[in-house]
Structure 1
Amino acid sequence: MTISTTEPSLHAAAPPRVHKTRLRDKAMANGSIISIALFFIVVCVVFSVATSAFMTAPNLLNVVRQSAPLLIVAAAMTFVITTGGIDLSVGSVLALTSTLSAASLQAGIPWPAVVLLMLALGGFVGAVQGFFIAYERIPSFIVTLAGLSVIRGLALLITGGYSIPIDAENPFTVLGRAWFLGVPVPALIALVILGVGYIVFNQTPFGRYVTGVGANAEAVRRAGVNTRLTTLMVYVISGTAAAAAGIILAARLGSGSSNAGQGFELDVIAAVVLGGTSLFGGRGTILGTVLGALTVAVIANGLILAHMSPFLTPIVTGSIILIAIWLNFRIFKGAVRSR
């Protein structure tokens, strides 16, 4: 009888411990997202106190509108970096598609056709780079670094270094300047793309293949997955996203410029890594990328509102991002050791 009365108490005591362990494991697994979320909140609070204009509705909507290209390309870059690769050419693709969009509109091509052509061009550029990376085994850093130079050079060759204006009455500008239900259209486009990216990354076989390629490509290949095609496709996605960003930027500015997107690839990579995606591959998060991109955008906006010298702005921005990523990595390593 003694045994029978004590056994239920032992079983009753087990569930709380199991529940506590599961909560701890879940917190560890999402440590990078939690850390960037907290950092994002701290940055917003600091700028809210430092500047009276930061938390106003017009400024916040402006931040969201201006960060739309960054959000779109960062979502695609999450796929690339999760495979263990990198795409340094996204800023140049943005400039090329921005330039060609303006030139095509001036040539009288209907704006829907221009949008489709630019998206196709971005996908083609990504496919070419992806072929050399996936099938010729050339490191992604080398391939996309060459792409950065070649594609930017094409944009400069087309424009001669000048901007190409877009008629303000052209419906094309709706993509960058219009508002719908009080929300900027670029933000709505970014929201749709982020939603699709989240579903594909987390709830489809392709998303699992992307993570598997970054974690252990050989094991995934032996399981019957075409790892080369998967690698090629992430660069197609990245190129298409960069083209979409170029279209939105050209529509918002009302011109196409070969100088657009200078250093854009660095902001994109910073946003993705800041959000918790590992530069070594095998671990990525779209939600973390969104928070990382918004953090980068908020820092840039807040420093401008604080009337900081434009020469100091990149120094402060880079330092803040470096510290945040360092803390992020420390938290993640701590979680791995605890396991």
Structure 2
Amino acid sequence: MSTSIYTEREKGSKYRDMLLAHAQVASIAVFFIACCILFSAATPTFLTTANLLNILRQLAPMLVVAIAMTFVIATGGIDLSVGSVVALTNSLAAILMQAGLSWPVAILVTILLGAVIGLVQGWFSASQAIPSFIVTLAGLSTLRGIALYSTQGFSIPIESGTGFDFFGAGTVAGIPVPAIIAIVAALIGYVTINRTRYGRQVIAVGSNAEAARRSGMPALRIKASVFVISGAASAIAGLMLASRLGSGSSNAASGFELDVIAAVVLGGTSLMGGRATVVGTVLGALTIATLGNGLILLHVSPFFTQIVTGVIILLAIWSNTRVFSKLRTAKKGKK
């Protein structure tokens, strides 16, 4: 009899934990579907193939960086400099190609620069124990300033027809190339977080860095590595923007970091570290891109879109905190 009662409680606790664990992803999925239904009913343009492909094309840079940001936030850090890295690498690619460098080499140099920037910021944050918020806030200002100084505030045109424009404006079987890149990034992110040793280490460091270090994990190296991923991803996003627009601009990706962080938090990755969901990040990015596109189709002021994004970030952080505090309480009660 006592065994039967214990088993029932165990099942109930298991189902409750499962529900709490997926509550954030489920809620953003429902919200995304509701947005799609609303905009589909409000304007016939929303569900057209051209508009859906346009959403995917515009979404791609944000999604690529959001996947990388998922790793950063999973370790308990944050990267506020991604928008500035996008602007700097966007400008650098244009400057290099205008100087006569071939576009494949310019792409490699630009991605390498993004990774190096991430490495430097990761070193300051991990090895020097400076909060990532402070380090990347400094990077946000410094890197944007370097971009502005390099371009003197002007857009740098990129010659068309060289093959570089395919990177951001081309299509394969009718699907935009940036969307394909974003899908590949999401798949790699999902497999890495859920199926690899490195992914488990990222989560472990975010849960308890000291315990991870004592168990033999290179905690500091892992903390630094996620910023390298973020820097490289931001450089890829900068290249996609430069290719799509046909120019490099130091004013690119203004406020970009807010959309990226909102996508990750909306998706259910814990701001306190130790938990990450790439599926949630994809849904969060889709939701933000859909909101922006739908409001434009409804001829709502673009400034109102910023208000909506800000409110969403606040509500996401609030719900994020409540869901994960309940999950922790449930696990303690079970123990």
| TM-score, with structure 1 as normaliser | 0.92
Identify which of 82, 90, 93 aligns with 2:82: 90
* Aligned match of 2:27: 35
* Aligned match of 2:153: 161
Question: Displacement, 1:24?
Answer: 4.2
Question: Displacement, 1:334?
Answer: 4.2
Alignment of 1:70-219 (within 5 A): 70-219=62-211
| Separation in structure 2 between the aligned mates of residue 32 and residue 233 of structure 1, nearest angstrom | 27
Question: Displacement, 1:97?
Answer: 0.6
| Separation in structure 2 between the aligned mates of residue 40 and residue 118 of structure 1, nearest angstrom | 34
Higher mean alpha-carbon deviation, 279-288 vs 67-76, is at: 279-288
CA RMSD after TM alignment: 2.1
| Separation in structure 2 between the aligned mates of residue 40 and residue 329 of structure 1, nearest angstrom | 20
| Separation in structure 1 between the aligned mates of residue 316 and residue 275 of structure 2, nearest angstrom | 18
* Aligned match of 1:293: 285
| Separation in structure 1 between the aligned mates of residue 256 and residue 320 of structure 2, nearest angstrom | 22
Alignment of 1:43-54 (within 5 A): 43-54=35-46
Question: Displacement, 1:328?
Answer: 4.7
Aligned: 1:223 with 2:209? no
Higher mean alpha-carbon deviation, 328-337 vs 151-160, is at: 328-337
| Separation in structure 1 between the aligned mates of residue 306 and residue 268 of structure 2, nearest angstrom | 22
Preserved CA contact (<8 Å) 1:102 1:164:
yes
| Separation in structure 2 between the aligned mates of residue 329 and residue 180 of structure 1, nearest angstrom | 41
| Separation in structure 2 between the aligned mates of residue 317 and residue 272 of structure 1, nearest angstrom | 13
* Aligned match of 1:307: 299
| TM-score, with structure 2 as normaliser | 0.93
Secondary structure in structure 2 of the residue aligned to 1:87: coil
* Aligned match of 1:4: none
Question: Displacement, 1:176?
Answer: 0.5
* Aligned match of 1:56: 48
CA, structure 1 residues 109+80, in 2 after alignment: closer, same or farther (shift >3 Å)?
same
Question: Displacement, 1:204?
Answer: 1.0
Q: How many residues matched?
A: 331
| Separation in structure 1 between the aligned mates of residue 233 and residue 154 of structure 2, nearest angstrom | 24
| Separation in structure 1 between the aligned mates of residue 209 and residue 320 of structure 2, nearest angstrom | 25
- Tell me the alpha carbon deviations over residues 181-231 of structure 1, each in whole angstroms, 9 at most, x when there is no partner: 110000001111111111111111111111111111110000001111001
Identity value in percent: 56
* Aligned match of 1:266: 258
AA aligned to 1:30 is H
Question: Displacement, 1:73?
Answer: 0.2
| Separation in structure 1 between the aligned mates of residue 205 and residue 102 of structure 2, nearest angstrom | 40
- Tell me the alpha carbon deviations over residues 102-134 of structure 1, each in whole angstroms, 9 at most, x when there is no partner: 111111111111111111000000001111111
- Tell me the alpha carbon deviations over residues 141-185 of structure 1, each in whole angstroms, 9 at most, x when there is no partner: 111111111111111111100000111212001000111011000
| Separation in structure 2 between the aligned mates of residue 134 and residue 328 of structure 1, nearest angstrom | 25
Aligned: 1:276 with 2:268? yes
| Separation in structure 1 between the aligned mates of residue 180 and residue 139 of structure 2, nearest angstrom | 30
| Separation in structure 2 between the aligned mates of residue 222 and residue 337 of structure 1, nearest angstrom | 25
AA aligned to 1:143 is V
Question: Displacement, 1:56?
Answer: 1.3
Question: Displacement, 1:318?
Answer: 2.2
* Aligned match of 1:244: 236
Unaligned runs of 5+ in 1: 1-8
Question: Displacement, 1:25?
Answer: 3.4
| Separation in structure 2 between the aligned mates of residue 145 and residue 12 of structure 1, nearest angstrom | 55
Preserved CA contact (<8 Å) 2:190 2:278:
yes
* Aligned match of 2:318: 326
Preserved CA contact (<8 Å) 1:31 1:332:
no
Question: Displacement, 1:16?
Answer: 8.9
Preserved CA contact (<8 Å) 1:111 1:172:
yes
| Separation in structure 2 between the aligned mates of residue 15 and residue 59 of structure 1, nearest angstrom | 52
Secondary structure in structure 2 of the residue aligned to 1:67: helix
Unaligned runs of 5+ in 2: none
Question: Displacement, 1:30?
Answer: 1.3
Preserved CA contact (<8 Å) 2:265 2:320:
no
Preserved CA contact (<8 Å) 2:70 2:278:
yes
AA aligned to 1:230 is I
Preserved CA contact (<8 Å) 1:39 1:324:
no
